[in-house]
Amino acid sequence: MPKRESKGFSEYRNEDLFRSIINYASDAIIPIDISGKIVFWNKAAEKIFGYSSEEIVGKPVTKIMPSHFGKHGSLHAEEAIISREGFVGKTFETVGVRKDGSTFPLEFSYSVWTTEEGVFLTLIARDITERKKMEEMLRSSEERYRSLFENAKDIIVLLDLKGKIVNVNKACENYGVKRKEIIGKNALDFVSQDYHSTVFEEIKKLSKGKLVSGEVEIKTPKGIAFAEYSGNPIKIDKHIVGIQIIVRDITQRKRDEERIRQSEKMFRELFETSLDGIVMVDMHGKIVDCNQAYLNMLGYSKNELKRMTFHQITPEKWHKIEERIIKEQVIRKGYSSEYEKEYIRKDGKIFPVALKAWLIKDGNGKPKGMWAVVRDITEQKLREKKLKRYTHSLEGLVEKKSKELKETQLKLLQSERLAAIGELAGMVGHDLRNPLMGIAGAVYYLKTKAKSKLDNTEKKMLKIIEENIAYSNKIINDLQDYSRELILELNEIDVKTLLKGSLSSIRIPQSVEIIDETCKRHIIKVDVNKMKRAFVNILQNAVDAMPNGGKIIIKSRKAKDTLVISFKDTGIGIPKEILKKIGKPLFTTKAKGMGFGLAICRRIIEAHEGKLSIKSTVGNGTTVKISLPLTSKMKGKQTILVGFPKSVAAYAKT
């Protein structure tokens, strides 16, 4: 120990133990005697103040802390010691003076202790320059950037150089955690375990003045979230005093990226396993990529095709035709209709194909290539010739019946419209069902004969024939339903139950909302199945009138001795000139059908002694009302003929 320390102080402690404890303390520990002179100086004091032990021991404490002790002079005065005993254990801030004369903020506390040799004062001091700089930085930031900091959508975190969170903006509350629950904790507490080492290294880099960025998985009360971060050191007077990190939630982006990866994987699997050929070309026609089916179709290897253009594998007679399709359809609309052309195989053989092309654009929306789905239709062309032979007799029959249908339509326009429908129904039922059965038998024969040899295209062609046979048969049924006698089997049922049964018979799109405001107490006596058919036709028409979705509101109310059921949609509405014709047979605005839906509805409702009315405004939807008597005179099973002479109905039965 230095020679100038007091004898009493030296005798009071175990020298080796005391020296070891005090020398390696992180704070400066400075004992002072009653005269105000320093009696001991540990290594932390040397580091903070710059004096060695030999230079400072025996010197007055005012040399290093003039602003606190200088005004009192020495500590000889008993009053000075007593006055300070009231502050023992408390922490004070003052200004320290280094050996080089520079000053710095100092935090200290002290204790008074007594020996036989006298009274001593022990100061415990620490340099709080870094803390003061951080506080100053925060105050400055508070004034200059408070609005930006608080209102930023991204999370902004301020850390000290050890990774402890000093401040965070209110964006953190979007994740179910309050600011006060974060401040004071280490940043690693909010990072998934797998990222601890990465974040720890990033904090070390930041504390050394480097910029960092990356992605991390963070833990929140609402679950795991993905975030990207960028960090920069905070400097004051060229000294790094803290760290700022901006955190942006990229959970949705990660999910989108995963969906894109899955989509790309699915596309690649579809691309490689498709039975149809798929080819991609640039805007000059050079082949960029193709799948195995395309290679098999042409007999080339992929490397060979990548050195070619699609013009080289297309007969010259198709060049101008295809050039026009690309210009007028693909480039203008972004895609083409399916069209037919020919290809040249590697062995020189020419074969027919059907293809559809789409445009590929770059990030700026400029065309950069095209892709196409290509089918070899050689077998299809052969089958078409065979089918033509099978359908030759049918074409003659169709032509003959077409003339008869035109003659029937003239009759309808001239006079007995309803009677002609009866004749038409009988004629179609008698004369067309037999050839339709013949066609159905031929299709069955082809399917049975070919069995597993049919490819997808062949199966699709036969399915189209079967569907058209079924559709033709439906037209016959509609004609006959419209013209034949109606036999009603009356039963009591409430409107709500009747509507529920009708809704179960049709597919309502998700974009269409059904609002049922009917009353279960409203009971009517009707043929349940036939009235359901009327409801289904009305509901289906309402759905068809709302291709982009909407609402259908169904209400029921009593009006004297009548029950009124209304169906109101929010669809496109019906123009006045068309509304006048709605409900008449053979008039329809749809691509398919003969216009018997509402006509049959009207017959069913009138057979129940009721009325059907339609009101509509273009753009404001359509309302269909059904009025039925609450007290019907009909009982049990009734045979009803509405709108036809008996001779017509009799003919329809044939």
- What residues pair up with 95 in beta bridges, in sequence order? 105
The DSSP 8-state label assigned to residue 485 in this structure reads: P
Please report which helix (H) or strand (E) contains residue 182, including its range: helix 179-182
- Whether residue 75 contacts residue 34, with contact meaning beta carbons closer than 8 Å, is answered with yes
Residue type, 112: V
Question: Virtual CA dihedral for 526, 532, 534, 538, nearest 10 degrees?
Answer: 140
Question: Residues 205-244: pLDDT tens digits?
Answer: 988 889 999 999 888 888 888 889 999 998 888 889 999 8
Exposure of 331 in the CB half-sphere (CA atoms within 13 A): 13
Q: Give the chain's residues under pLDDT 70.
A: 1-19, 70-89, 141-142, 144-145, 391, 393-398, 400-402, 404-434, 437-438, 445, 451-452, 471, 474-485, 581-596, 633-654
What pLDDT, on a 0 to 100 scale, did the predictor assign at position 372?
Answer: 93
C-alpha pair distances (Å), 601 with each of 348, 606, 627, 648? 62, 9, 13, 19
Which residues are within 8 A (CB) of 283 and not within 5 positions of it... i.e. 6 or more apart? Answer: 367, 368, 369, 370
> Pairing mode, if any, of strands 512-517 and 550-559?
parallel
What is the amino acid identity at position 34?
I
User: What does the pLDDT read at residue 73?
Assistant: 42
Q: What is the DSSP letter of 308?
A: S
The answer to whether the CB of 590 falls within 8 A of the CB of 544 is yes
The Cβ of residue 353 has, within 10 Å, a number of other Cβ atoms equal to 20
- If you count them, how many residues does the chain have? 654
Q: pLDDT tens-digit profile of 489-508? A: 888 999 999 989 888 888 88
Q: Which of 303, 321, 315, 309 is nearest to 369 (CA)?
A: 309
* pLDDT for residue 569: 93
Query: Closest Cα to residue 543, out of 552, 553, 534?
Result: 552
Tell me if residue 508 falls in helix, strand or coil. Answer: coil
Structure-block tokens of residue 140: 């400055």
Return the pLDDT at 466: 76
Tokens of residue 206, six digits: 């930041």
To 5 degrees, how large is the angle CA 251–CA 256–CA 258? 95
Strand order in 239-249's β-sheet?
Answer: 165-168, 155-159, 239-249, 223-236, 212-220
CA quadruple 358, 363, 364, 369: dihedral, nearest 10: -30
The whole-number pLDDT of residue 448 equals 75
pLDDT of amino acid 82: 43
Query: What's the whole-model pTM score?
Result: 0.34
Distance CA(278)–CA(268), nearest Å, equals: 11
Where residue 630 falls (left for φ over 0; alpha for ψ -120 to 50; beta otherwise) is: alpha
Count other C-beta atoms under 10 Å from residue 175's C-beta: 17
Residue 341 pLDDT: 94
For 430-444, give one letter per residue: b (16+ CB within 10 A) or e: eebeeebeebeebbe
Helix ranges restricted to H, 26-178:
43-49, 53-56, 66-69, 78-85, 129-151
Q: Where are the beta strands (DSSP E) in 461-520?
A: 486-494, 512-517
Q: What proportion of the chain, given as a percentage, has pLDDT over 70?
A: 77
Residues with Cβ within 8 Å of residue 18, at least 6 apart in sequence = none
Rounded to an integer, what distance in angstroms lies between the CA atom of residue 186 and that of residue 276? 58
**pLDDT at position 16, please?**
63
Gyration radius from the chain CA atoms: 47
Q: Which of 300, 261, 260, 305 is nearest to 280 (CA)?
A: 305
| Confidence at residue 480, expressed as pLDDT on a 0 to 100 scale | 63
Tell me the pairing of strands 621-629 and 611-617.
antiparallel
Q: What is the 3-state secondary structure (H, E, C) of 535-589?
A: HHHHHHHHHHCCCCCEEEEEEEEEECCEEEEEEEECCCCCCHHHHCCCCCCCCCC
